[in-house]
Homo-oligomer: A and B are copies of this chain.
Amino acid sequence: MLRVKFVPQNREIVVENGENLLEVARKAEIFIDAPCNGNGVCGKCKVKILEGKIDTEKSRHIKDEEWNEGYILACNSKVIEDVVIEIPSNASSAMHGMKIEDLSGKREHEIFEKSKQKLSENGMEFKTYVKKDFIKLDPPTLDDNISDFERIKRHLRNHLGYNQVFCRLPMLRKISSLIREADFEVTITHIPRGEGKTTIINMEKGNTTDRLYGVALDIGTTSVAACLVDLYGGTLVAKASSGNAQIKYGADVINRIIYSTRGNGLEELNNAIINETINPLLRKMYKDSGISKDEVVSFIAAGNTTMSHLFLGVYPDYLRMEPYIPAFVKSPFIKASELEIAVNSETFIYLVPSVASYVGGDITAGVLASGIWASDENILFIDLGTNGEIVFGNREFLMTCACSAGPAFEGGEISCGMRAAGGAIEEVKIERDTYEPKISVIGDEKPAGICGSGIIDLICEMMLSGLIDRRGKLVKGLGTSRVRFDEHGIGEYVIVFKEEYKLEKDIAITEVDIDNFIRAKAAIYSGVNTLLSGLGMDFTMIDKIYIAGGIGNSLDIGNSIKIGMLPDIEQDKISYIGNSSLMGCYLTLMSEDARHKLEEVANHMTYVELSVEPGYMDEFVSACFLPHTDIEKFPSVEQLLRR
Contacts and interface: CB of A to CB of B under 8 A. Distances in A.
Interface of A: 140-143, 145-150, 166-169, 171-173, 175-177, 180, 312-315, 318, 322-334, 338-339, 354, 356-357, 607, 609, 611-612
A327 B175 contact: yes
A147 B327 CA distance: 5
A313 B173 contact: yes
B145 A315 contact: no
20 contacts: A142-B322, A142-B324, A142-B609, A143-B612, A145-B356, A145-B357, A145-B609, A148-B327, A148-B328, A149-B327, A149-B328, A166-B332, A168-B332, A169-B331, A169-B334, A172-B312, A172-B332, A173-B315, A176-B315, A180-B318
Contact of A148 (B146, B172, B326): B326
Contacts of A177: 315
Given A148-B318, A176-B318, A323 B141 contact: yes
A345 to B, nearest CB: 12
Contacts of A143: 612
Contacts of A333: 166, 168
A184 to B, nearest CB: 11
Q: Is the interface of A mostly helix, strand, loop or mixed?
A: loop
A335 to B, nearest CB: 9
Contacts of A167: 332
Nearest to A171: B332
Nearest to A266: B173
A503 B196 CA distance: 67
B332 A147 contact: no
Listed from nearest, the 7 A-B pairs whose CB atoms lie closest are A176-B327, A147-B326, A149-B328, A142-B323, A147-B329, A140-B325, A148-B327
Contacts of A146: 325, 329
A318 B166 CA distance: 22
Contacts of A172: 312, 314, 327-328, 331-332
A312 B315 CA distance: 32
Nearest to A142: B323
B142 A329 contact: no
Contacts of A609: 142, 145
Contacts of A141: 323
A198 to B, nearest CB: 13
A279 to B, nearest CB: 18
A610 to B, nearest CB: 11
Nearest to A175: B327
A177 B316 CA distance: 10
Given A177-B315, A612-B142, A338 B148 contact: no
